[in-house]
Structures are given as C-alpha cells and as structure tokens.
Structure 1
Amino acid sequence: MFSFSRTNIFFFSSFIIILNFIWFKWNSFHRRTKKNVPPSPRKLPIIGNLHQLGSSPHRSLQALSRKHGPLMLMHLGSVPVLVASSSEAAREIMKTHDLSFASRPKLSIRDTLLYGSKDIAFSPYGEYWRQVRSIAVVQLLNSARVQSFRQIRENEMALMINMIESSCGSVIDLSEILVMLTNNIICKVALGRTYSGLKFKDLLGRFVHLLGVFSFGNYIPKLSWIDRLSGLDDKARKVAKDFDEFLEGVVEEHIRDKKGVDAKSDEDQDFVDILLDVERDNLTGFALQRDTIKAIILDIFAAGTDTTFTSLEWAISELIRHPTVMKKLQEEVTETTHGRPIIHEKDLENMKYLKATIKETLRLHTPVPLLVPRESTQDVKLMGYDIPAGTQVIINASAIGRDPTLWEEPDEFRPERFLNNIIDYKGLHFELLPFGAGRRGCPGIQFAMVINELALANLVYKFNLTLPNGVKDKDLDMNEINGLTVHKKSPLLVMATPRF
C-alpha cells in the first residue's frame, strides 16, 4: 500500500504539469519545424537522383511523375529540384506564386557564355532583369517592330523557295535549309546582314550546344574537377571569347556606320542599331552597358534560331508521316492564296488549319521540353507542400503536352483537336506551354511564330514532300537528340517536287 503526503502530492502534481508543458512546447515546435515535402524517388549518396535522368530527361521525369505525382522533389547532387508535370502545378508556379518562382539558379556555363548571365533568359530576378526585359519588349519585340521586319522574312522565304526549286527533284537536306533560313532572318534582323559562313555556323552551334550541357560543378561542387578535366570549362571560355570578339566587331562596325550618315528609318534599323540608340540616348533611364547589348543579342540567336528551326523540322516530319493532314493543309493554303505564286504574311491570318498544325507540333514536340529552370526566392506553400527558398524548379512542358488527362490520344498527331479549342501557346493556358508563362515567359513569341507560319505555309503550298529511296512515310526516323532544345536525331532528307 502506497501513501502520499500533501507535500509529495504537490511535488508530483507540479512534476506532471511541467512534463505536460514541456511536451506541449516540444510538440508545437515539432509541428512548426516538420515540413510536408513532395514525394521523392529514392536517391543515392552524393549524386542523389542524377542517375535517373537518363539520355532523355524529359521522358525519364515524365515516367517518374506517373509513379510519384505531378509535384516531385528530386535531388540532383546536393541541389533540391522540384519537378512539375501537370497543368495545375504549372499554373501554381507560373501564375499563383509567379513572383516567388521568378528567379533563375546560378549556373556556371551560362554565366561564362552570357557575360555573367546579363541576358534576359538567364539573369536572376530583380531590377536589372526588369530593365533588360523591358528594353526587349518595348524596343525590340513590340508588334510594330516585328512587323517592320516583314520584308526581310518574305525575301529570305523567296530565296529558300528558289533554292529548293533548283534542286531539280534531287534529295535535299531540308533540316539544313531550315537552319539557313532561320539563321539568315535572325542575322539580318539582329545584325543587319547575314553571316552564313562555316565559321559562324560552327560558333553558333557550339554556343547553343554548351547552353544545354550538364555541368557537374553546379550540382556536386566537390566534382567540379570533372568539368575541368573533361574540357567543358575551357570549351565554354573559348566559345565565349570567340563570340565576344565577333559581336564586338559587329557593334564597332555599327558605331562607325552611324558616324557621318543620316539616321536610319525604323524599318532599316536592326537590333544592334536600336540597342546602341538606347545606350546613347539613355532612353529608359537605365545605363545599358556594352556587355548587356551583346548578351541580349546572344539571347536572340539562341532562342530565335534553334527553337524556330527545330519546330519547323518536327512539323514537316509529322506532315510527311500523316499524308491526310498534309493534304488538308495544302488545300487550305491553296484556297487562301487564290493562285498567287507565293504566300505573304497577310495571307496567314485566316489559315486556321495551319495554326492548328503548328499548335499540335508544339504540343507533341515542345522545343524546350524542360523549361528554363526557375528558383524559389522564398518559402512557399504549393499544393499543400512546403517548398523552401533556394529550390530549383523544373516544369516538364513536354509531359504536360502529353498528359492523357488533358489530351485524348496524347501521342497522336491530330491538329483537329485545336480547331474548336481556345487553348493557345501564349502563356494563358497551362495545358500548352512551349514558351513558358508568367514573368519569365518568352518575350519573342510573336517574332518566332510568324517565321514558323510563313515558312510552313509556303513549303506545303509550293511542294509535295516525299521521302527518298522508297522509304515509307510511317518509317521516317523520329528519334530525338537532347540538348537545350530537342532535335530530330537524323536530318530530314526529302525530295521536293513542285505542286504547280
């Protein structure tokens, strides 16, 4: 039999109260500090989930998202990376919490190539980015300016058509011709003249390639020696030096041309002219530096050439594989032009099936399938999960474009799905995100799409395109090769015969 004195009862009661208080405080602290993180695939020491990216990261991440969900937390080396694979998740990131996810992670190769990321696409969010984006939107890529380059686009289109017509029915490398078309247009618009020599094409190719190369040092700092040993760092510095010398020469040439001559009209100005005027007259109240001018020009080349040509390449490949779709498109463009020898930009407005074909191409073959990474600048509650500041964010636009809950038969090429569908690619509909959305959406959509529409319309209007050597349409190689953009692995070789 146990008995307690009043003193013992007092001390015992006090002890119980203190224990309850301590438990309450600990439990409250635990609730505050315990984070509800998104589901994650199992990771390995040091490398985290890097081994699960494979040779086609957008495909691998899509497969993982089917198992772990539309929001998935991975670790690439020591860096936490949030992967979004649904339209709802993309909307939350690029609209609801756009400001919190508006910055970019610091990546060494892009810093090397783009003057410390002084461009528009990769610069971190802040006042500098706001100023350079404003210059691009207001001065370079507004509707009037894009329209002012109409003659350049139509002239280069006519040259391409003439080149194909002169092939006399022989096999042509249409991929190479499309690269030349987009490169010539971008060169004339940005620099004032074409630079189509092998040296320039090689330099541009190396630049775009390096933008998409994986750097170990960004994700596993202790393995940064691999980037040095592999020569990656040296290659980036060499390309940066070569491009800087080239662009410096272009800028100096423009400065010399401006001296002692009358000011160019708006229609005659190229991007370098416009940026030099902004620099000279301080039109925005923002001191535009020479490195910024060159970084913006490099952005135009990276975004304008590579993504535009690859979209055209995929579109024509799908049309060849789907003769019924090709016939419908040819009927539309033929009816719209009323027998004129070539399609002009004013003809494009009423070509609904053309626009549907391009939308379907962008859905099925998103040029940059993993949109340029973002980085959270503050802690965010996202779809019930806790996302800390400093988390990299990858939006798998390719997975969203092939999501079976959004698209019927998502792997089939069916432009008809867009004929009575308001979904567009301009960043307002999160089911289709080839150019991103929100603050960091691509400012050059209009500039790129008019090239796509004009080129595709003229090619199918002027020519019947068939595969050489008796290869059947369905047997066309559609394998991908990955980089910053996703290209066809093999060039598109065709025979082009005139339709009229």
Structure 2
Amino acid sequence: MELDLLPWKLSVIFPLLIIFLIKKWKKKSDVNLPPGPKKLPVIGHLHLISNLPFRSFGDLSRQYGPIMHLKLGEVDTIVVSSPEIAKEMLKNNDPIYADRPESIAVNILWYKYEDIVFSPYGHYWRQMRKICVIELLSPKKVRSFRSIRKDEVTRFVESLRFSAGEPVNLTDMVHSVLSSIICRAAFGKVLKDKEALMRLVSVALELGTGFLLADMFPSSVIANAVSWSTKRRLMMMRSKIDAIFDDMIHEHETNRGGNGEFGNEDLVDVLLRVKESGEMDFPIGYGHIKAVILDMFSAGSETSSSALDWVMTELMRNPLAMAKVQAEIRQVMKGRSHTDIEEEDIQKMKYLKLVIMEAHRLHPQATVIPRKSRESCQINGYTIPAKMRVLVNAWAIQRDPKYWTDPETFKPERFLNEPTMDFAGNDTRYMPFGSGKRVCPGIAFASASVALPLAQLLHDFNWKLPHGVDAQALNMIEHFGITSCRKDKLFVIATPYQPLP
C-alpha cells in the first residue's frame, strides 16, 4: 500500500520543490547587485582570475566599473576599486563592513579566529586590540623600544661592513633583523626558534588569502576532499607553531613578570596576567594568547621587512631618488661626532618620509583589504547583501591614473602637495595600512621599524647591484599572500660611505 502512494507523493513534492527553487532564484535575482562579467557554470568567474588576483581585479574593474560582483566558485564577492566607494564602505558605513571573511588556513593557523587581525568585529576584538595597543603599539610604547631598534640596526650595519664589497641577500637580512626587533619588543628576547617561526609564518601568510579550493567551494565534498592534503599540512604547521609558543609561554609562567628587556612586563606577561585575573568580559585562554602572539610576529616582521625590501628595490631602480635621499640624510648627520642616527634625526628627513610613502603606494602590504558585510546595505545605488565578501583593491586604487599622475612611476615628490594623505587611510586614495575601524593598529611600530634601519643603511653605505644585473630588469612582480612581498630576493653590494674631511 505504501508503494502505491509513492507516485502520488512524488507528484505533489516535485512541483512544490520546483516552485521553491524558482522563488529562491527569483528572490536572489531581484537583488540589485553590482555589474560583472558573464560567468561560467560551477566555477563562476575563476577563469578570469590570475595567480595575482588584485591585478586581475584591476583589469576587470576598467571594463565593469569601480564596484563589481564576481562569483568566485560558490562565493559571491564584491570588488571595490574606487576611493569614493571605499570611503562609503570602510568609513561612512563602518562597522557594517568591519568583519573579516573566513578562510580555512586562517581558521586552522590563527586558532579559530581568536586573534585580533582576523577575529569577528565585536567586544572581544575591541578588548584584545586595546590590550595590544596599550602594551605594545601605542606611540609611548613604540618610543620606549628605541634602544632595541638601535641595537639591532647596529648589529645589522656591522654585519654589512664585514661583507663589504660582496653581494649580500638584503631581503633575508632585513627580515631577520626586523623579526628580532619584534621578538625583543613583544616577547622579551629573540626566540631560539625564530628562524623556524619565520618560515612557518611566511607560508601561513601565503595560504591564508581565502583562495584555496575548499574556500571557494565550501559546500563541495570533492573540493574538501581534494584540499585534505593542504589541510593536513596546515595542521602540521599549526602543531609546530604551537610547540614554539608553548615553550615561550612556559618560560614566561616559570619566570613570572619582568620578562621584558627593561625589567617590566612584556606582552606575553600581560596576556598571562589577564588570563589568570578572570576580570575581562571575555575570558582568554592559551589559544587566545598564542593567536595574538602570531599576529604580532607576523605583522611586525613580515609586513615591515617586505616594506623595507620594496623601498630599497625602488631606490636601486631610481638612482636620482637614491642620491637625493642619501644627500638629505648625510646633511642632517653632517658634523656629528658619531654616525648613529637617532629617531629625532629622522623627523628632519622629510624626503625620506616621501620615499617610504611612495613605496607603500606602489607596493601596499595589503594589496586587497578583505571585509565581510554584517548586514544588507545600499552602496553606490546597489544592494550589498549581508555576509557578502567584499574586497577593496588598494593596489588598483593606488595606481589609478584618475587619481595619480604617471601612477606606475616611482615619484616621492608627488606627496608634497597631498596633505590629506597619511598611513591611517583617512584619504581613501591611499590606504597602505587599511582604513576604518579595522585599520592596522601597528602603524607607529611599523613606521619606526622601517624608517630607522632604512636611514642608517642609506647613510652608512653606497649601494649597487651585483655585476651584470640591470636595475631596470629587476623583477617587480609580487608574491601573493596576505602580505605582498616581492617575488624575487634583492641581492646588493654595500660599500661603506667615507665622508669628506
């Protein structure tokens, strides 16, 4: 009897299912999304995206407009390539766009978003951000670490003097120096496993972009199965990071308080004290502490070292700018009985600041600023639904000829007449550290970590490329990741500068 009813049941259920799907499709099609190219079945617009997505987004925006809708696999994505629309989203409608999109690699490596950079916008994020700003990233704290920066830069200079006249891998040397600075400032000393952690973090930043196959096809059993080897690799990396951080935390718990170089608490001491106090609205555990430590190390070492590497590369390609900035630095230091540059001296080096700003314009560390909408909102006449992934293409905005004269050329002087532009992204034509509530809180720390070593290197040495290397032939393509470092490493020859008597 039951079998006799089956055709009848199917005859009722099947039409209802069709009506439901039609209504669902119609409801979705009624949403006034931004324009975009025609998509293919299943993959959407993935066939239009290269290994450097921000470059592909820039090319597509010239055809489809400054706000586009793309379907990246299953994931609906809004790409913004205009400072006006970026301002409307990141500043005028903040915090609607203050969330971060999810990523498998970030979920695994950053302890299920228990950090600051990737955690959802809300009270926990504000609580942890406040702790880190007060204990490490405030202007007062940044100034207090000047002796650490100076000491590490002095060691760096001495190692270059030892290798004078020989080609050196400046990229790796800069990376090592800046990671030592962040270790000593945040963790009290240079980690014994620093080199291993540097390698792990570099891979983590490469994989955490949200462009893994399983990120783009989250409901696909096949995509998740194919991605299992990557997930396994991520879990092994997380285990290695855990081991390094567990040793650090155990050492801090054994030597309670005063692990900072100056006998005070360092960041890990503070986080352990907060954990044990239980006084925070959102209690924290070891996972939260390790996630924040990973934030501090990755942001403090990877972004600053990459920025310094880009500056030096651009100066090698632009000898007039190199000569001008070196002349300024050496004029400021002229007549000094010693050549150690103090951070007060850097305030007098106006052209140096312009050089750094221009390098950040051409090579922002956050090429794409990733956000996720927290609720539906009207932007530029279009409807951006809730939980939509939004990518603000800072790389394209900062190279747009509509806002920049001769945008592909390295011209530090362009910022002389741009008083509204700063590193905080208040003018959304220029957002090297993001903009809005989720702007990078470590701008002061990063700026000091780049300016001092750069000024000292430019003062103490004359620079040239190894024999047979053409400056104009240097590869300026990026290695895509959460931060955007140069794909090739910079090898240079440093010759000690001898001032005239």
TM-score, normalised on structure 2?
A: 0.89
Letter in 2 for 1:109: A
Work out whether residues 184 and 196 of structure 1, in 8 Å CA contact, stay in contact via their aligned partners in 2.
Answer: no
1:434-445 equivalence runs, <5 A: 434-445=432-443
* Structure 2 Cα separation of the partners of residues 213 and 115 of structure 1: 16
1:311 corresponds to 2:307: yes
Deviation at 1:266, TM superposition (A): 6.4
Of residues 474, 487, 490 in structure 1, which corresponds to 2:485? 487
Superimposed CA distance per residue, residues 328-370 of structure 1 (whole angstroms, 9 cap, x where no aligned partner)? 1001111112333121212111211011001100000111201
Work out whether residues 133 and 441 of structure 2, in 8 Å CA contact, stay in contact via their aligned partners in 1.
Answer: yes
Deviation at 1:278, TM superposition (A): 2.7
Superimposed CA distance per residue, residues 137-174 of structure 1 (whole angstroms, 9 cap, x where no aligned partner)? 23331121111111111100000000001003111010
Of residues 399, 402, 406 in structure 2, which corresponds to 1:405? 402
Work out whether residues 40 and 72 of structure 1, in 8 Å CA contact, stay in contact via their aligned partners in 2.
Answer: yes
Work out whether residues 39 and 72 of structure 1, in 8 Å CA contact, stay in contact via their aligned partners in 2.
Answer: yes
Deviation at 1:252, TM superposition (A): 1.0
1:103 corresponds to 2:105: no
Partner of 1:190: 186
* Structure 1 Cα separation of the partners of residues 487 and 440 of structure 2: 26
1:256-271 equivalence runs, <5 A: 256-258=254-256, 268-271=264-267
Superimposed CA distance per residue, residues 425-484 of structure 1 (whole angstroms, 9 cap, x where no aligned partner)? 212111111111111111111111111111111111111110111323322232322122
1:250 corresponds to 2:237: no
* Structure 1 Cα separation of the partners of residues 149 and 263 of structure 2: 13
Work out whether residues 153 and 185 of structure 1, in 8 Å CA contact, stay in contact via their aligned partners in 2.
Answer: yes
Work out whether residues 188 and 261 of structure 2, in 8 Å CA contact, stay in contact via their aligned partners in 1.
Answer: no
Partner of 1:151: 147
Partner of 2:17: none
Deviation at 1:285, TM superposition (A): 4.8
TM-score, normalised on structure 1?
A: 0.89
480-489 or 317-326, larger mean C-alpha shift: 480-489
* Structure 2 Cα separation of the partners of residues 32 and 60 of structure 1: 26
1:200 corresponds to 2:197: yes
* Structure 2 Cα separation of the partners of residues 291 and 479 of structure 1: 36
Structure whose CA Rg is larger: 1
Q: Where in structure 1 are there 5+ consecutive unaligned residues?
A: 1-29
Letter in 2 for 1:165: R
Of residues 430, 433, 458 in structure 2, which corresponds to 1:432? 430
1:179 corresponds to 2:178: no
* Structure 1 Cα separation of the partners of residues 478 and 260 of structure 2: 44
Give the total of aligned pairs.
468
Partner of 2:343: 345
Deviation at 1:267, TM superposition (A): 6.4
267-276 or 339-348, larger mean C-alpha shift: 267-276
Of residues 102, 119, 131 in structure 1, which corresponds to 2:127? 131
* Structure 2 Cα separation of the partners of residues 158 and 412 of structure 1: 33
Partner of 2:448: 450
1:324 corresponds to 2:317: no
Work out whether residues 216 and 224 of structure 1, in 8 Å CA contact, stay in contact via their aligned partners in 2.
Answer: no
Superimposed CA distance per residue, residues 234-273 of structure 1 (whole angstroms, 9 cap, x where no aligned partner)? 01111111111211110110010117xx786866432212
Matched residue of 1:221: which SS? Answer: coil
Deviation at 1:118, TM superposition (A): 0.6
1:28-47 equivalence runs, <5 A: 34-47=30-43
Partner of 1:116: 112
Partner of 1:9: none
Q: 1:403 to 1:267 in 2, by over 3 A?
A: farther
Q: 1:151 to 1:263 in 2, by over 3 A?
A: closer
Matched residue of 2:431: which SS? Answer: coil
Superimposed CA distance per residue, residues 90-143 of structure 1 (whole angstroms, 9 cap, x where no aligned partner)? 101101111111112222221111111111111112222222122222333112
Q: 1:346 to 1:447 in 2, by over 3 A?
A: same
Matched residue of 1:350: which SS? Answer: coil
Letter in 2 for 1:38: P
> How much is the aligned-residue C-alpha RMSD, in angstroms?
2.1
Letter in 2 for 1:470: G
* Structure 2 Cα separation of the partners of residues 375 and 116 of structure 1: 17
Of residues 239, 262, 275 in structure 2, which corresponds to 1:279? 275
1:358-397 equivalence runs, <5 A: 358-371=356-369, 373-397=370-394
Work out whether residues 215 and 227 of structure 1, in 8 Å CA contact, stay in contact via their aligned partners in 2.
Answer: no
* Structure 2 Cα separation of the partners of residues 52 and 386 of structure 1: 24
Partner of 1:302: 298
* Structure 1 Cα separation of the partners of residues 332 and 291 of structure 2: 41
Deviation at 1:282, TM superposition (A): 5.0
Of residues 156, 181, 195 in structure 2, which corresponds to 1:160? 156
Matched residue of 2:255: which SS? Answer: helix
Deviation at 1:227, TM superposition (A): 5.0
Deviation at 1:218, TM superposition (A): 2.1
Letter in 2 for 1:110: V
Letter in 1 for 2:410: F
* Structure 2 Cα separation of the partners of residues 487 and 451 of structure 1: 16
Superimposed CA distance per residue, residues 173-214 of structure 1 (whole angstroms, 9 cap, x where no aligned partner)? 101111111111111122222136543333333333332362
* Structure 2 Cα separation of the partners of residues 179 and 196 of structure 1: 16
Q: 1:107 to 1:471 in 2, by over 3 A?
A: closer
Letter in 1 for 2:471: D
Q: Where in structure 2 are there 5+ consecutive unaligned residues?
A: 1-25
Q: 1:229 to 1:359 in 2, by over 3 A?
A: same
Letter in 1 for 2:414: R
The sequence identity of aligned pairs, in percent, is 37
* Structure 2 Cα separation of the partners of residues 115 and 177 of structure 1: 30
Matched residue of 1:374: which SS? Answer: strand
* Structure 1 Cα separation of the partners of residues 129 and 198 of structure 2: 27
Q: 1:437 to 1:394 in 2, by over 3 A?
A: same
Matched residue of 2:417: which SS? Answer: coil
Superimposed CA distance per residue, residues 4-49 of structure 1 (whole angstroms, 9 cap, x where no aligned partner)? xxxxxxxxxxxxxxxxxxxxxxxxxx99993322111111111111
